[in-house]
Amino acid sequence: MCFTGRVRISSSILTFSLLAGITSLSAQVPEAPPVPDSPSLRPEAAKPEKLEAAFLPGKTYRFVNKTKVRMQLPGRGIREIAIEHQARFDSKSRGDGKEGAEVKARTERLNIEIRSGEKQYTFDSLKEEDKEKRIGKHFRASLNRWVDLTLNRDFRVVSAVEGGRAGIASPLPGMPQFGPKELQQLVALIPQGLPEDPVAPSDEWVLKGSREVGEVGALGFDITYRNAGAVVHEGHNCVQIDLSGRLSGDVALPSAGGSAFSGGRMDFQGTSLRGKIIFDPMEKTIRLSEQMISMLMELPGAPGQPPSQIPVEQTAILRLIHVIASPQL
């Protein structure tokens, strides 16, 4: 059985990549899980099941989002970026009595590593010595910020109120800071790819469309999802969804910087995506979402020069650390 529907693709990682001089969407295989997912003993002839994400009231969720990007720049060697963003979400019922949830979202930890040739830049928000680095001062400007989100029954944000201490001005203007805006984008990743209709094992659904990337252009997507059936993941009865597809489109390059590329456009070619989602129907949330993207990125050449084609690999994983009863404040 095959369905069509809508999907929301977050542009947060793409935005970071563009501003850091590296472009792509996301993905990575988790770090050596102790036990691989194993088939459940539940019968394959299961009835169609609604796989619907929700923040349950009175629960605290912690997620870690890890992304790695690797690319070969002509004449500049290999460039790599690794991002690890841990966030906490405290959920309660909506004050107006409507379906959905009110969620307080905040960043608990941020780890950034950038390698370009022999140069390396790192930041770990838990290390005191990193706070005075230039890159540390940049990220500190937003780490004390939080956002109160109101979500409707479809897991869409209907209002967002930011709070917390703003901090000092960033010494690296233009680079994202993983503040309230990035927390909202992380929330959007949780239901990404889940079907609108109930599905049974072996059912497939295809999601097609385009996603605006800020004001710089749009990326088209054509992704096939398949219900691979029941699995036991880290002791929890879950449903596995396999995915594969393609991304396409072009986006504008930043106009600042004065390089030969400034103000041009960047084309994505031969972009393949594959991965899986592990969904927990009991907790109504994903426990794992993996993606891997391989692409050929085409950058405009300098005046009189042909375009440069750059192979890019990006891997990402969104993992649920735990869901627990919210502490009594």
Give the least confident one: 112-121, 150-159, 301-310: 301-310
Q: With 60 as the cut, is the pLDDT of residue 159 above it?
A: yes
Residue 286: which H helix or E strand, with range?
Answer: strand 285-299
Burial of 279-290, coded b for 16+ CB within 10 Å and e otherwise, reads bbeebbbbbbbb
What is the rounded CA–CA span in Å between residue 291 and residue 245? 11
Cα 299 to chain centroid, rounded: 24
Does residue 273 surpass a pLDDT of 50? Answer: yes
The helix or strand, by DSSP H or E, that contains position 140, with its residue range, turns out to be: helix 134-143
259 pLDDT above the threshold of 90: no
Higher pLDDT, 314 or 173: 314
Higher pLDDT, 131 or 232: 232
Identity at 163, one-letter amino acid code: G
Please count the other Cβ atoms lying within 10 Å of the Cβ belonging to residue 322: 9
Note the pLDDT of residue 195: 94
Q: Confidence band (pLDDT; 50, 70, 90) for 174?
A: low
pLDDT at 175 over 80: no
The closest of 231, 256, 250 to 242, measured between CA atoms, is: 231
Please state whether the predicted TM-score (pTM) of the whole model is above 0.85.
no
As a whole-number percent, the residues of the chain with pLDDT over 90 amount to 44
Give the pLDDT confidence of 92-111 residue by residue, as tens digits. Answer: 999 999 999 999 999 999 99
In 3D space, the residue among 25, 1, 27 whose CA is nearest the CA of residue 11 turns out to be 25
Distance CA 88, CA 64 (A): 9
Residue ranges of domains in the chain: 2-325
Round to whole Å and give the CA distance between 249 and 220. Answer: 6
Q: Does domain 2-325 fall into CATH 2.30.230?
A: yes
Give residue 272's pLDDT band: very low, low, confident or very high (50, 70, 90). Answer: confident
Per 3-state DSSP, what percentage of the chain is helix, strand, and coil (rounded to 5)? Answer: 10, 50, 40
pLDDT of residue 6: 36
pLDDT digits (tens, 9 = 90+) for 58-96: 999 999 999 998 887 777 778 899 999 999 999 999 999
pLDDT over threshold 80, residue 318 = yes
Which residues share a beta bridge with 88? 62, 106
Q: Is the pLDDT of residue 57 over 90?
A: yes
φ, ψ dihedrals at 6, nearest 5°: -110, 155
CA–CA distances in Å: residue 251 to residues 47, 264, 300: 43, 9, 12
Q: What percent of the chain has pLDDT over 70?
A: 73
C-beta separation of 273 from 246 below 8 A: yes
Q: How far apart are CA 245 and CA 222, in angstroms?
A: 6
Res 286: pLDDT: 97
CA distance 106 to 144: 8
Would you call 134 helix, strand, or coil by DSSP?
A: helix
